[in-house]
Chain A
Amino acid sequence: MAAPLLPFLHLDSLWLQVTGSRCNIACRHCFISCGPKVDRHAMMTRAQVQVAISDAERLGCRAYYYTGGEPFLHPEILDLIDDGLASGPLHILTNGMLITREIAAELAHRSAAADYSLDLRVSLDGLSAAANDPIRGEGVFEATTTGIRRLVEAGIEPSLALTLVDPAGASPEGRTAMLGFLRALGVERPRLKLIPPFRIGREAARSGRYGPEARLAAEDLDDEAPWQLGCGTSRMVTANGVYTCPILIDYPSARLGDGLAKALVPIPLAYRACFTCWEEGFSCRS
């Protein structure tokens, strides 16, 4: 059975893996297995980031996402933020641990001065050290909540990204608890991004690989699919080239070439992870 082809509509958002697979921690559920010594995808240079952004701008792109690894490991992150914000709204996905008071102040300054929105999305996997740290590592809860507090003190309200390692988190009570958690950290306008676990990368070892049922057929998809799935309106750029989406950068077949212009093509939803996107109605965008 051939995998369904997903049409590409338009480059609404461009994802950039600015620090490659380099992260200051090594979460047990990381679907791209990032960590302190992981260099499968190198850090992008500022010049590489600028080329990708100006290509995307010419294609009518409307939003940028910086991810990694951990973007704040990049030695030129503030310059990269200037580059992104000059072109459009910018989202930064971070674990928040490296946000010092100085960085928070720089971010707040840029957020106030830019024409476009600057969004910080901070990841946590539980609302206590006991729930979070077994997945993300000893001391991470404390460091991440400190980062959130610093952002709030500087005048930036981050959103919270939470991987649903416990599916009960998505219940109304779970949401209420998360919103309350953010309010207690000083976030007056709390926002959430709930992420289903993708059973690839390190997460495959933690919760088991996908079974044979995790396959999409053409009749599963409807006209809304390319609007809803991230890969219908976005692409991911790493130092290694352009990929269908931020989830599949370790699949050689998901690499679409060196440049963006030729990567805006229909793609086969042939990957197990596609099943999760579709089943959960998930897209990486905010």
Chain B
Amino acid sequence: MPELSAAEFWVGPRVTLALFGGVYNNYLALDVLLRDTYRRGAAGVYFLGDVGGFGPHPARSVERLRESAVRCMAGNYDVSVGNALADCGCGYTDPRDNHYAQISYDYTLDGTTEEHRRWLAALPTRITMMVGKHRVLLVHGSPRRINEFLWESTTPAAYIHHLCELYQVDLIVNTHTGIAFERRLADGRGLINVGAIGRPANNGRLTVEYVLLHLEDGQLHSERVALEYDHARLAAEMEGEGLPPEFVATIRTGWWTTCLEILPTRERRQGRF
């Protein structure tokens, strides 16, 4: 079991924390998120990684995160960009997916300054915290692997139980797949995947999602929040930057058009392609 970073503590009769992942260069959604979490009284805001990829103007998202009070973690994308690796390490299997992934990775790496890369490379890859009496572990993919996909239809209760036991936590919060879900065990422990704010969740909607975690009377419960942002502007800027039309279509329609081979059968069937 890898060593855990210093714990953070949240106490009080009522605490609200905001958790989000996958900015994917969508600085417009990030702006909306920062206002929304403030308006909803989030005492802490946590970003679970993957600043880059997919969208336009990589520096804008990094700058916003650095200037904000958001507690940031590294995703596989940030480890790759931070260390100027050859690819994003997303773990795609289809050559066509890797082709598109490489276009946005090269674009992101190109638009990231050395100072930004140093900042990305220094981000933690896990955070443990106490929220009331609950021990919560934040990771990007899974506690085992930064780029492990935990989808709803392929992450059974038995596996979540195993992870909670192994890492001695009550709740695991992750992202990386881009589709949010929550699975609780009978004893109240569980896993929350917060989805991504960078692109819609392959559901035909143009909004993006994050999660609020409420501590109330000692109990933890979550709330999923849909964010509206200026998707038309994002799509136009992506076109202006010469990013793949397939990516732009996802922003305009809410359906994923690439990187579909990694989707489990259930999640794939819920999409259009």
A binds B: yes
Q: Do A60 and B265 form a contact, CB below 8 Å, given A117-B154, A172-B95?
A: no
B:93-148 near A, CB below 8 Å: 95, 144-145
User: What are the residues of chain A within 8 A of B260 when measuring CB–CB?
Assistant: 189
Does A46 interact with chain B (Cβ within 8 Å)?
A: no
A59 to B165, CA, bound (A): 11
Cross-chain contact of B153 among A56, A115, A157, A227 (Cβ < 8 A) = A115
B153 and A89 form a contact (CB under 8 A)? yes
A52-86 to B contact mask, C-beta < 8 Å, 1/0: 00001111111100000000000000000000000
B:151-192 near A, CB below 8 Å: 153-156, 158-159, 161-163, 165-166
A63 to B148, CA, bound (A): 14
B265 and A88 form a contact (CB under 8 A)? no
Does A278 interact with chain B (Cβ within 8 Å)?
A: no
Cross-chain contact of A62 among B158, B265, B266 (Cβ < 8 A) = B158
B95 and A60 form a contact (CB under 8 A)? no
Does B41 interact with chain A (Cβ within 8 Å)?
A: no
User: What are the residues of chain B within 8 A of A63 when measuring CB–CB?
Assistant: 154, 156
B92 to chain A minimum Cβ distance, whole angstroms, is 13
B156 and A89 form a contact (CB under 8 A)? yes
A61 to B155, CA, bound (A): 10
Closest to B150 in A: A62
Does B241 interact with chain A (Cβ within 8 Å)?
A: no
Closest to A190 in B: B261
Does A118 interact with chain B (Cβ within 8 Å)?
A: yes
A61 to chain B minimum Cβ distance, whole angstroms, is 6
B158 and A117 form a contact (CB under 8 A)? no
Q: Do A89 and B264 form a contact, CB below 8 Å, given A60-B163, A172-B95?
A: yes
A92 to chain B minimum Cβ distance, whole angstroms, is 12
Does A215 interact with chain B (Cβ within 8 Å)?
A: no
Most chain A CB atoms below 10 A, which of B144, B155, B261, B265: B265
User: What are the residues of chain A within 8 A of B95 when measuring CB–CB?
Assistant: 172, 175
User: What are the residues of chain A within 8 A of B153 when measuring CB–CB?
Assistant: 89, 115-117
A173-215 to B contact mask, C-beta < 8 Å, 1/0: 0010000000000000101000000000000000000000000
B158 and A60 form a contact (CB under 8 A)? yes
Does B269 interact with chain A (Cβ within 8 Å)?
A: yes
Cross-chain contact of A157 among B156, B158, B265 (Cβ < 8 A) = B265
A115 to B264, CA, bound (A): 12
B161 and A60 form a contact (CB under 8 A)? yes
Closest to B273 in A: A189
Does A240 interact with chain B (Cβ within 8 Å)?
A: no
Does B268 interact with chain A (Cβ within 8 Å)?
A: yes
B156 to chain A minimum Cβ distance, whole angstroms, is 4
Q: Do A89 and B154 form a contact, CB below 8 Å, given A60-B163, A117-B264, A119-B265?
A: yes
A116 and B156 form a contact (CB under 8 A)? yes
User: What are the residues of chain B within 8 A of A189 when measuring CB–CB?
Assistant: 260, 268-269, 273
Write the residues of chain A forming the contact surface with B, with a CB cutoff of 8 angstroms. 10, 56-63, 87-89, 111, 115-119, 157, 172, 175, 189, 191, 227
Write the residues of chain B forming the contact surface with A, with a CB cutoff of 8 angstroms. 95, 144-145, 153-156, 158-159, 161-163, 165-166, 260-261, 264-269, 273
Task: Give 5 closest A-B pairs by Cβ, nearest first.
Answer: A60-B162, A88-B156, A62-B159, A117-B153, A57-B158
29 contacts between A and B (CB under 8 A): A56-B158, A58-B158, A60-B158, A60-B159, A60-B161, A60-B163, A60-B166, A61-B156, A61-B158, A62-B154, A62-B155, A62-B159, A63-B154, A87-B158, A88-B154, A88-B156, A88-B158, A89-B153, A89-B156, A111-B265, A115-B156, A116-B154, A116-B156, A117-B154, A117-B264, A117-B267, A157-B265, A172-B95, A189-B273
Given contact pairs A88-B159, A117-B153, enumerate 4 new A-B contacts (beta carbons under 8 Å).
A60-B159, A61-B158, A62-B156, A118-B265
